[in-house]
Structures are given as C-alpha cells and as structure tokens.
C-alpha cells in the first residue's frame, strides 16, 4: 500500500480540471458562436424531424422500418405519460410532449456518445427555455379552460379552512408561478451536470492511475467508468421521461384544477 501511495505522489497526484474546462467549448463556427452545445441542440431538432418525416412518407396499414420506431415513441408518450398524467382529453398535447421528450433525450444522450461526450442539457440555456415553454403552456391552458377561476382557486383555495387560506394561497401562488419553472429546469440541468462530472471524475482517475505502479487499481476505476456510462444512458432516458411527465402533470393540473 505504501508503494502505491508513493507512486501516486511521484506521478504528481490527481489533477482535476476546472469546471469551465468541463462545460465550456470553443465555437465551431466563430461568426455565429455555434459551439458543441448549440450543435447538439440543432441536431436534436433536426434528427427527430427527419425520422418523423420519413415515417410519414410510408403508406399502408402495416408499419415497418422507421415507422415502427416513430409509432412506438408516440404510443409510449400516449400510454406512459399522457393517459396517466392528464387523461384522455390530454391527447391533443401529444405533439408538444413528444417534442419535449425527444429534444431532452437527444440533449442528454450526447453525454455518452463519443466525440460529443457533453450533455447539452448540462448548460442551463437549453433546460430553461423548454421549462419556460412548458410554464407558458400550462398557464395558458389553465386560463383558457378555467378562465379567471384558475387564478382564484390557486390564490384563494376554497377547500382550505378560512384562517389558513391566505397563507396556503400565498405559498401556492409562489410555487405555481415562480418555483415551478425554476425547479423544472434545475432538475434536468443539475442531473445532467452531476452525471457529466461523475463520468469526468472516473475518466480523470483512470488516466491518473494508468501510469506507474498505480495501474493495479485501474480495473476498478475503469470498471467504474464503464458501469457509470451505462448508468448515465439510463439516467438520460429517465430524465427525458421525468421532464415530459412533469410538464404533462402541470398541464393536467391546469386542465382539471379540481384534482
């Protein structure tokens, strides 16, 4: 063990890169400032569009090839997200929620794709915009379907005892209109940033121990890196799912405020 510690000290020890090295990239096209993050966001719009466009070209009753993928995703959003979270009358929000899911998923999965290896959603810019779209959407749905009573039921909830009503109303107002988009965006952003830092930590550890006697622990660090890469694929899917279902729950709450 002493030899290992000595070897570690000789090789200069662990040098963790600063945070800006991990999440800031040089622009690929200087004039418009398009960097890796922007490229990922553009790709995560273009790729699903192409997939669904190609799927729509297919005629006939029985789907095959790319149309199976597209229909599978639509059915997943319908059965796993819209029906449990909103109900049958929420099916008209399918395009919005499907776009959310695919945009977030492509922004997350670049975390483990070679040459990208940076989740676009680990920068606040992407999550905050889609969270604000979801926020504008559920507020407008609430006002459209319930009129002014939507705001009144939040600020002056009739089911609460009169003495506490102003307090609950105040908390509800704050949480619905101010904290919701914040926590919605931060949940995605912090999850992806944490995953990215986790992978970087294991990669840096593996590189550090690769030289000298420390290579004896390389199987553990590299094994950890592989295992956490698999875990991050799972997290990308779960976070896309969670982001979409929370948007759906917010819309559902605005559509049927009684429950």
Partner 1 sequence: MSIAAQVLAQSADDLKNAAAAEGAGFAYGLAAIGPGIGIGYLVGQAVQAMARQPESAGQVQTTMFLGVAFTEALALIGFVVFILLKFA
Which residues in this chain contact partner 1 in the complex, by CB under 8 A?
A: 18-19, 80-81, 84-85, 183, 186-187, 189-191, 193-194, 238, 241-242, 245-246, 249
Q: Which is nearer to partner 1, 16 or 220 (CB)?
A: 16
The minimum distance between CB 38 and partner 1, in angstroms, equals: 22
Q: What angle do CA 190, 192, 195 make, to 5 degrees?
A: 105
Minimum distance from CB of 18 to partner 1 (Å)? Answer: 7
Between 84 and 223, whose beta carbon lies closer to partner 1?
84
Q: How far is the CB of 183 from partner 1 (least distance, A)?
A: 5
Q: Which is nearer to partner 1, 209 or 240 (CB)?
A: 240
Question: Other C-beta atoms within 10 Å of 192: how many?
Answer: 27
CB of 245 to partner 1, least distance (A): 6
| Cβ-Cβ contacts under 8 Å for 192 (sequence gap 6 or more) | 107, 108, 111, 119, 121, 122, 236, 239
Q: Which one, 145 or 187, has the nearer CB to partner 1?
A: 187
- Phi–psi pair at 34, nearest 5 degrees: -80, 110
65 phi-psi bin (left φ>0, alpha ψ -120 to 50, beta other): left
Q: d(Cα 87, Cα 108) in Å, to the nearest integer?
A: 28
């Amino acid at each position: 063990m002493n030899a290992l510690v000595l070897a570690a000290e000789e090789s200069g020890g662990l040098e963790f890169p600063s945070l800006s090295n991990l999440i800031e990239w040089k622009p690929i096209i200087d004039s418009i400032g398009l960097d890796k993050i922007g490229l990922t966001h553009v790709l995560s719009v273009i790729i699903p569009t192409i997939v669904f466009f190609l799927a729509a070209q297919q005629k006939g009753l029985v789907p095959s090839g790319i149309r199976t993928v597209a229909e599978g995703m639509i059915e997943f959003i319908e059965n796993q997200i819209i029906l449990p979270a909103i109900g049958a009358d929420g099916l008209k929000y399918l395009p919005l929620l499907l776009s959310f899911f695919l945009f977030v998923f492509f922004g997350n999965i670049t975390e483990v794709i070679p040459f990208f290896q940076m989740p676009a959603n680990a920068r606040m810019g992407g999550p905050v915009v889609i969270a604000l779209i979801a926020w504008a959407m559920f507020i407008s749905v609430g006002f459209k379907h319930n009129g002014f009573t939507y705001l009144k039921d939040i600020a002056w909830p009739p089911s609460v005892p009169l003495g506490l009503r102003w307090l609950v109303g105040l908390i509800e107002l704050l949480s619905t209109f101010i904290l919701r988009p914040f926590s919605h965006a931060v949940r995605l952003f912090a999850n992806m940033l944490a995953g990215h830092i986790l992978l970087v930590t294991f990669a840096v550890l593996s590189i550090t121990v690769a030289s000298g006697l420390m290579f004896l622990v390389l199987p553990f660090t590299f094994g950890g890196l592989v295992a956490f890469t698999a875990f991050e694929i799972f997290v990308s899917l779960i976070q896309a799912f969670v982001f979409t279902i929370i948007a759906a729950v917010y819309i559902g709450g605005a559509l049927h405020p009684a429950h």
